[in-house]
Structure 1
């Protein structure tokens, strides 16, 4: 089984949920790494050579970031290979695209996905969107897994907030910080994730720290000492950091993650600063609300899928493509 991935999938300087997903579910697969500035590469030679080197009739899984923007490369190979495309986020849904660029990417993605033998989404909501958006019938769902984790001990049980996400417009740090700044409480927010140019546009506040990407014990410690997990994303197909937080039993207030969150926390409308502020105000000032959120997080924690289950679900989908 072959899995075509972006070459930077294991880059520790730029961790992402999509990269973690790819690495975890591809254990035992032949990983074919292709370099390029995806999804709109200046040079597609690496991808062309990689696909050309795969024998006819083989089942090949492709990361959507690599393939969905280049139908001129991928579609001809769909006639001789059994291609499955894993879509982490539709190309047109990246924050900040102008309408013309979004429409251009949407059309190119549509060509690729309609040519594929199967399409895999990482949540039921994302799968439904792809079916409607591109007129597809062959969309399967393989949700991300989680690793078992100890329940977070927290700090004082209220005021230490954690957000784990790349500092980009799509992750909504601006909404989150502004919402917090209007609340009368002694809060502290740690924003873990790679720094981008968007960091300079965020409201300055000494109560917010940006330690950059963390991994291993440092990330585990960040979850363990948090009292509440917050995420103000404008677009997500799943939201792996939310299930990671829930695996630690952390209460969650978030947007754009209905499938990952389930009944495990408070889901607020996307981009709604007032709604975020209202939920956070309840958290800081209402003990009953905090207790209820903790109970819901623990219940959701017990129902989370493991990575072994996710890997097996993916392999079952790919097995249906074999002759």
Structure 2
């Protein structure tokens, strides 16, 4: 018997180290996992001209296509043309309407693309519930496949226990502005590395950097920019706690990655982050968009050795047992085989 074929339509540059994103990592890990489960996965990159039929035209009639949601929302016309000709699954990393600044065109494109899907794969139970609550997808057409984590050694950390790490594109929904305001009132002793592309929203990135300078904390913040896998691993290894101040988050892959390495987490209670920290004994969750709440959690980390020790011990105990990418691939495999 030949392996089942899956055409996986992904963003252009999905494996480009300069374009590292949670969505790209998810796509590549799932593709690898599905190959291990017997699929013939054929990656099809779709660039800025995604509204043309080029990407999906490579899929033969009655073929099975899995389309990354970023491609789908940019190319609703191509998705509509493929409807009925191919068996169509859409992979939703984030719900457009969850962003405070979502524009009308993006919302309409998302609705059009989702209406064409035979199957929708959501990356968290939160995302599934959002899609259903917003009337975008019927519950029976949605399956959940949360991100996994890579196998990694437990982090070494630092003697100071005050090395903070924030991972994610520097953009409003990631909340680095909230983090800077919280750090400014925290007092001395800490250092913070912010790792993530500043090209997503350059104006926002400049405002955050300027704010840090105005508040006198620039000398304790390192802006690492977009980093490759090896450098990110090194940053995790030197981190004592991960801080995720997001305003919107479908799951929180950096949260899960940190916990896998035995690094405790201080994060916002938003979107899928509570799923990522589950069972939550190695994390402190606070309300989003509130520097004072984040500052208080960070203050406790800095000034309460017993709390630090308890959270770190729990993170190190849980880390090796957290879900990996093979679990994600199994969920995707099970859902896709229902379309064959």
Specify which of 250, 258, 275 is matched with residue 274 of structure 2.
258
Deviations 1:15-73 (A, max 9, x none): 1010000011012310011111xxxx6x622xx12323322211110001101243332
Please give the residue correspondences for 1:20-59 in structure 2 after superposition, counting only pairs within 5 Å.
20-27=25-32, 28=35, 29-36=41-48, 44-45=51-52, 48-59=53-64
Deviations 1:65-98 (A, max 9, x none): 101243332123212211000001123334544x
Deviations 1:254-278 (A, max 9, x none): 1231111121311111111111011
| Secondary structure of residue in 1 paired with 2:300 | helix
Please tell me whether the aligned partners of residues 265 and 296 of structure 1 are also in contact (alpha carbons under 8 angstroms): no
Please give the residue correspondences for 1:200-211 in structure 2 after superposition, counting only pairs within 5 Å.
200-202=206-208, 203=211, 204=213, 205-211=218-224
Match status 1:247 vs 2:252? no
Task: Tell me the CA shift for residue 160 of structure 1.
Answer: 0.9
Task: Tell me the CA shift for residue 135 of structure 1.
Answer: 4.4
Q: State the match for 1:310 in structure 2.
A: 328
Residues 300 and 75 of structure 1, relative CA distance in 2, 3 Å threshold: farther
| Secondary structure of residue in 1 paired with 2:91 | strand
Specify every segment of 5 or more residues in structure 2 that has no aligned partner in the other structure, as ranges: 1-5, 36-40
Task: Tell me the CA shift for residue 167 of structure 1.
Answer: 1.3
Task: Tell me which moved more, 304-313 or 50-59.
Answer: 50-59
Q: State the match for 1:109 in structure 2.
A: 110
Deviations 1:93-113 (A, max 9, x none): 34544xxx2x33223212221
Please tell me whether the aligned partners of residues 51 and 76 of structure 2 are also in contact (alpha carbons under 8 angstroms): no
Q: State the match for 1:7 in structure 2.
A: 12
Please tell me whether the aligned partners of residues 227 and 250 of structure 1 are also in contact (alpha carbons under 8 angstroms): yes
Output the CA distance in 1 between the equivalents of 2:75 and 2:92: 14
Task: Tell me the CA shift for residue 216 of structure 1.
Answer: 3.6
Q: State the match for 2:313 in structure 1.
A: 295
Query: What value does the CA root-mean-square deviation take over the aligned residues?
Result: 1.7
| Secondary structure of residue in 2 paired with 1:161 | strand
Deviations 1:143-179 (A, max 9, x none): 1111121111111242111111111112111100110
Output the CA distance in 1 between the equivalents of 2:251 and 2:307: 25
Please give the residue correspondences for 1:79-228 in structure 2 after superposition, counting only pairs within 5 Å.
79-94=84-99, 96-97=101-102, 101=103, 103-133=104-134, 134-137=136-139, 138-196=141-199, 197=202, 198-202=204-208, 203=211, 204=213, 205-228=218-241
Output the CA distance in 2 between the equivalents of 1:8 and 1:92: 26
| TM-score, scaled to structure 2 | 0.87
| Secondary structure of residue in 1 paired with 2:17 | coil
| TM-score, scaled to structure 1 | 0.91
| Secondary structure of residue in 2 paired with 1:154 | coil
Please tell me whether the aligned partners of residues 114 and 136 of structure 1 are also in contact (alpha carbons under 8 angstroms): no
Task: Tell me the CA shift for residue 114 of structure 1.
Answer: 2.2
Output the CA distance in 1 between the equivalents of 2:42 and 2:302: 49
Output the CA distance in 2 between the equivalents of 1:251 and 1:92: 30
Output the CA distance in 1 between the equivalents of 2:150 and 2:230: 14
Match status 1:230 vs 2:243? yes
